[in-house]
């Protein structure tokens, strides 16, 4: 019997697993079936233009504009699995090149150098005074605690079980007033309530970036949004090789074999509903020799959108991908605890907004005030009550973007807080009100003496749309957790079920990165196919590099 592989979820992790099965495992495309409700998840870049195009999968009637629920920052030095696998995926735009070539060539031609990373009432912190954002602003207690955290051995991680960053630094609240914390939390989306265990992993894995976090020079950008630059080429690779994609299928439960030991995990059936077919239900019989790869959680699950005139209506649904994980975890003790990540939105929710304009006036004003060109990463208004940041990508960010159009994206880390210029909680604002909030902050630091305010009507007339999105689980992967709350990629005693997501457990590597999903995919495929794990893509350990550590130490005292 021909062995089959079933992917639950069609995000980047399962796409990577499909490519590993074909490239390294000798699978034929027709052996692989991908099932999901969306073509993509966290690596989004949707158009909701009035006109149709091939990558639109969220048609919103009577709306125009582009939509980016979030932003992803790649890294050339530490995304080893991503670059290796994408070297096997042909470019869709440049014949003879790979996706890795596309991205790195673009990034090297447009290197990131953020000069307006932090913005306060005086404008960008780049002018050499004591608040200059190149200074980390640590005191000795901060340095001691951060060093102690980083040097905690992996075998002692359980000492950080369920410990928040706020609890870890309780004896040094000064830590949360530093430039470092302002930059770190908004670059990686940590909150004070987030896991100290995850902060430890980030400090080790990303120590190379510690000395340049103020400019984000380590950020690697894709030519367009990551859906078009990464997801579409990966799908094309798989489709060209005969992989079956079913984009309207919701998997609602898994059937398991009743074994004598009762701790063996063997999937025998996949129950599903066809969402656009009057919820027609069905079941796939799974042979014990077949493979099942589950996306056990997504940071874009249960999101809700508004528009220029309409606030979001919060979606209170428990994350669908995690609901399937929860059913499995109720049957087997070794599959973790999804409630740790999906049962407390206060730790994880964000509010994002995407602005589309029909001319470049507002974009040019942003560039003038932040003192940087599009494509130079992230600006955070550190004194904004809901903690607002924006990203102005290199333009165009979408292939369908017209020459006269500009697109940028922003987010509020604390959507339950009131705005500073619109006196209501961010989550209750329309897209227009979010724009008003942003323009208020932009105008407050305008060195041209109210140039933004004086051209307010011109700006408003240029707006195509402002699309707000509530993401209840945006940083759920950083929620406080204990060892064992995330299942292993291939759980103990599992014969054919693997988890590939930001909510599975692997040593050393860090969540909220495409690298994590790619590596989980490789680990799952190699484990099931008997390929030695020693042959997995080699990872760098910059935390063991004396030169890198010397720069980090110098930065800590900067």
Minimal CA–CA distance to 435: which of 450, 452, 449, 448?
452
Task: Report the distance separating Cα 377 and Cα 532, nearest Å.
Answer: 39
Three-state DSSP state, 103:
helix
Closest listed residue to residue 121, CA positions, set 449, 452, 450, 441: 441
Q: In what order do the strands lie in the sheet with 304-305?
A: 123-124, 118-120, 378-381, 388-391, 406-412, 350-357, 463-471, 304-305
Closest CA to 256 of 343, 335, 336: 335
Distance of CA 312 to the CA centre of its chain: 21
Choose among 3, 8, 85, 1: nearest CA to 498. 8
* Residue 448 structure tokens: 């041209």
Catalytic (active-site) positions: 202
Q: Tell me the two tokens of residue 202.
A: 């980030």
Q: Which residues contact 292 (CB under 8 A, 6 or more apart)?
A: 5, 6, 8, 254, 267, 270, 286, 496, 497, 498
Helix (H, G, I), strand (E, B) or coil at 140: helix
CA distances from 85 to 17, 101, 185, 502, 523 (A): 10, 12, 30, 18, 13
Q: Measure the CA–CA gap between 234 and 39, rounded to whole angstroms.
A: 11
**Checking DSSP bridges between strand 123-124 and strand 463-471, what pairing results, if any?**
unpaired
In the beta sheet, which residues pair with residue 391?
A: 378, 409
- Closest of 66, 469, 429 to residue 305, by C-alpha: 469
Please give the C-alpha separations between residue 477 and each of 166, 405, 527, in angstroms, as whole numbers: 17, 34, 24
Element (DSSP H or E) covering residue 340: helix 339-342
Neighbouring C-alpha atoms within 13 Å toward the C-beta of 112: 30
Alpha helices by DSSP H, 206-307: 207-210, 226, 232-240
The span from the CA of 345 to the CA of 347, in Å, is: 5
314-to-306, 351, 415, 430 alpha-carbon distances in Å: 10, 11, 12, 13
Distance CA 461, CA 463 (A): 6
């Amino acid at each position: 019997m021909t062995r089959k592989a079933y992917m639950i979820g069609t995000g980047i992790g399962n796409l990577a697993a499909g490519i590993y099965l074909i490239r390294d495992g000798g699978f034929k495309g027709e052996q692989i079936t991908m099932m999901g409700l969306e073509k993509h998840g966290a690596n989004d870049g949707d158009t909701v233009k009035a006109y149709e195009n091939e990558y639109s999968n969220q048609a919103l009637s009577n709306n125009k504009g582009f939509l980016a629920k979030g932003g992803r920052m790649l890294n050339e030095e530490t995304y080893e699995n991503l670059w290796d696998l994408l070297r096997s995926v042909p470019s869709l735009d440049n014949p003879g090149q790979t996706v890795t070539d596309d991205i790195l060539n673009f990034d090297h031609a447009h290197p990131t150098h953020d000069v307006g990373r932090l913005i306060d009432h005086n404008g960008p912190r780049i002018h050499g005074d004591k608040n200059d954002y190149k200074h980390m602003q640590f005191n000795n207690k901060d340095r001691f605690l951060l060093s102690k955290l980083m040097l905690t051995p992996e075998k002692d991680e359980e000492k950080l079980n369920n410990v928040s960053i706020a609890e870890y630094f309780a004896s040094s609240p000064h830590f949360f007033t530093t430039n470092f914390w302002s930059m770190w939390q908004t670059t990686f989306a940590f909150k004070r309530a987030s896991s100290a265990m995850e902060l430890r992993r980030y400090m080790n894995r990303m120590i190379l970036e510690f000395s340049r976090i103020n400019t984000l020079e380590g950020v690697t950008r894709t030519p367009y949004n990551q859906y078009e630059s990464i997801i579409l080429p990966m799908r094309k690779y798989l489709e060209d090789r005969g992989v079956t994609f079913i984009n309207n299928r919701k998997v609602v439960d898994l059937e398991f074999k009743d074994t004598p030991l009762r701790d063996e995990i063997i999937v025998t059936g996949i129950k599903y509903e066809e969402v656009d077919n009057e919820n027609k239900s069905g079941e796939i019989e799974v042979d014990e020799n077949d493979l099942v790869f589950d996306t056990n959680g997504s940071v874009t699950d249960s999101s809700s959108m508004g528009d220029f005139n309409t606030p979001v209506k919060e979606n209170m649904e428990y994350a669908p991908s995690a609901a399937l994980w929860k059913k499995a975890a109720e049957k087997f003790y070794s599959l973790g605890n999804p409630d740790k990540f999906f049962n407390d939105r206060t730790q994880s929710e964000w509010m994002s907004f995407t602005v589309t304009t029909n001319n470049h006036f507002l974009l040019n004003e942003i560039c003038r005030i932040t003192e940087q060109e599009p494509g130079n990463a992230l600006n955070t208004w550190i004194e904004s009550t809901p903690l607002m940041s924006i990203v102005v990508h290199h333009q165009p960010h979408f292939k369908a973007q017209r020459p006269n159009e500009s697109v940028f994206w922003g987010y509020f880390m604390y959507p339950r807080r009131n705005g500073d210029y619109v006196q209501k909680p961010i989550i209750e604002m329309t897209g227009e009100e979010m724009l008003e909030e942003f323009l208020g902050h932009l105008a407050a630091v305008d060195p041209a003496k109210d140039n933004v305010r004086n051209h307010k009507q011109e700006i408003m007339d240029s707006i195509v749309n402002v699309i707000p999105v509530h993401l209840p689980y945006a940083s759920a992967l950083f929620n406080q957790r204990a060892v064992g709350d995330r299942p292993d990629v291939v759980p103990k005693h599992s014969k054919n079920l693997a988890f590939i997501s930001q909510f599975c457990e692997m040593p050393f590597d860090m969540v909220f990165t495409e690298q994590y999903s790619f590596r989980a995919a490789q680990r799952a495929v190699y484990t099931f196919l008997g390929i030695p794990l020693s042959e997995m893509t080699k990872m760098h350990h910059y935390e063991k590099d004396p030169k890198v550590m010397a720069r980090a130490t110098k930065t800590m005292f900067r």
